[in-house]
């Protein structure tokens, strides 16, 4: 993969594609984790006396139409606060100049052709600056003009430091042969994580499941799950995965008659009533022991409805156990990172990936378009 450290950027103009798709409310950035994540790349470029224009998407606006609620203005203001410099927000590509050290182009998805990887837009983006740098791992699974076409159109393009760190960390987790290795896959649907689970079974001794995924596996193993969320179309797939004897299911779960109820009870997986739903699971002593013995842990997804206090204990105990282990731990996905922020110190996880869909597709072993364009070897 073409790297920033091997690219001449001294006194150059830089078009830097980043992921600034952060939560905003009432014109204020609620979580600046993704903004802070590009600090190392920006600091490197500033030391090289480069002039930088940032490119990012924000939400999913209708192409070709400006919509204030998808504007990057709040992000520009936060960038100014963090990096202590004026950050102009350009309304169009024609407005772009390098009078300031750092500047930002308004939401790239406002432009027609971005999501369609339009060749003309790709060329316009690649022609903005001397060097095109891609540092947005979270969008690397998208074949868009700014994430794929512009990389290919640029005379000089490379990966940013964040992207390099992301790929190194994910590759380390997937390639490491250290055992025992444990993967944790939570979430609502087996269908969205089926290929991930299959891939992780090849690099893990066991896969611990959570959320609606667990419900489908419990149903497939013959347990009554009451009115719990599950996927009937995935039952046969779940049975084939259970046959590997590498799927680690809970022994006890937290059930309630409604997701909005404050009344719940703990019961064995064989004692769920017909009018109850599983909303959390208890981390068994056996599961805790496996976490503490693991040399490598890959974690994606909560094990319960953790946003609600009554059903958050399973995810909290899981996060605390991983944080206390000596394993190399890799965590990824929006809900996973939110759980980490809620329950533990992020520094106790070896690496937290900024990617959601990109993280999952990398775990599946898929070739991600942006990485392929940069020469990454999968």
pLDDT in tens, 265-301: 999 999 999 999 999 999 999 999 999 999 999 999 9
In the prediction, which pLDDT does 262 show?
86
Q: Are 114 and 121 in contact (CB under 8 A)?
A: yes
CA dist 205 and 245 (Å) reads: 10
Burial of 260 (0-12, 13-18, 19+ CB in 10 A): exposed
Q: Are 126 and 154 in contact (CB under 8 A)?
A: yes
Q: Are 43 and 163 in contact (CB under 8 A)?
A: no
- Can you name the residues that pair with 266 across neighbouring β-strands? 254
CA dist 88 and 96 (Å) reads: 9
Residues 6 or more apart whose CB falls under 8 angstroms from that of 154 comprise 126, 131, 132
User: In whole angstroms, what separates CA 297 from the centre of its chain?
Assistant: 16
| Confidence check: pLDDT of 256 > 90 | yes
Q: Are 164 and 277 in contact (CB under 8 A)?
A: no
Residues noted as catalytic: 34, 189, 334, 357
CA dist 298 and 351 (Å) reads: 10
Length in residues, the chain: 378
Domain ranges of the chain: 4-164, 176-364
pLDDT digits (tens, 9 = 90+) for 293-346: 999 999 999 999 999 999 999 999 999 999 999 999 999 988 999 999 999 999
**176-364 placed in CATH 3.40.190.10:** no
Q: Are 14 and 129 in contact (CB under 8 A)?
A: yes
pTM of the model: 0.91
**Mean pLDDT taken over the chain:** 96
| Confidence check: pLDDT of 378 > 90 | no
The CATH code belonging to domain 4-164 is 3.40.50.1260
Q: Do domains 4-164 and 176-364 have the same CATH topology?
A: yes
Which residue has better confidence, 187 or 330? 330
| Percent of the chain whose predicted confidence (pLDDT) is above 90 | 94
CB atoms within 10 A of CB 239: 14
Closest CA to 303 of 323, 324, 327, 284: 284
């Amino acid at each position: 993969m073409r790297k920033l450290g091997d690219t001449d950027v001294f006194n150059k103009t830089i078009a830097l594609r980043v992921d600034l798709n952060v939560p905003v409310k009432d014109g204020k950035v609620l979580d600046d984790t993704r903004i802070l994540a590009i600090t190392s790349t920006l600091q490197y470029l500033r030391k090289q006396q480069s002039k930088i224009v940032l490119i990012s998407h924000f939400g999913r606006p209708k192409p070709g139409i400006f919509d204030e609620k998808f504007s990057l203005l709040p992000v520009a203001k936060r960038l100014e606060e963090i990096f202590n410099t004026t950050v102009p927000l350009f309304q169009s590509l024609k407005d772009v100049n390098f009078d300031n050290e750092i500047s930002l182009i308004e939401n790239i998805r406002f432009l027609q052709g971005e999501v369609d990887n339009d060749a003309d837009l790709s060329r316009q983006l690649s022609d903005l600056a001397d060097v095109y740098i891609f540092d947005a791992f979270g969008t690397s699974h998208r074949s868009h003009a700014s994430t794929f076409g512009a990389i290919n159109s640029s005379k000089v393009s490379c990966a940013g430091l964040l992207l390099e760190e992301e790929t190194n960390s994910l590759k380390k987790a997937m390639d490491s042969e250290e055992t025992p290795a444990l993967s944790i896959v939570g979430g609502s649907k087996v269908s969205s994580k089926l290929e991930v689970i299959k891939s992780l079974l090849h690099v893990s001794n066991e896969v611990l499941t959570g959320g609606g995924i667990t419900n489908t596996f419990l149903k497939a193993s013959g347990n009554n799950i009451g009115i719990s969320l599950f996927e009937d179309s995935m039952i046969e797939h779940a049975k084939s995965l259970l046959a590997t004897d590498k799927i680690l299911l809970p022994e006890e779960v937290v059930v309630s008659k409604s997701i909005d109820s404050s009344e719940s009870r703990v019961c064995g997986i064989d004692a769920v009533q017909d009018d109850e739903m599983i909303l959390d699971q208890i981390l068994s002593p056996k599961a805790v022991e496996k976490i503490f013995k693991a040399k490598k842990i890959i974690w994606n997804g909560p094990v319960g409805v953790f946003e609600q206090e009554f059903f958050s204990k399973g995810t909290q105990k899981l996060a605390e156990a991983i944080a206390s282990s000596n394993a190399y731990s890799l965590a990824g996905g929006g809900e996973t990172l939110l759980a980490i922020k809620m329950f533990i110190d992020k520094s106790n996880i070896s690496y937290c990936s900024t990617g959601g869909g990109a993280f999952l597709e990398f775990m599946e072993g898929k070739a991600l378009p942006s990485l392929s364009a940069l020469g990454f070897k999968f």
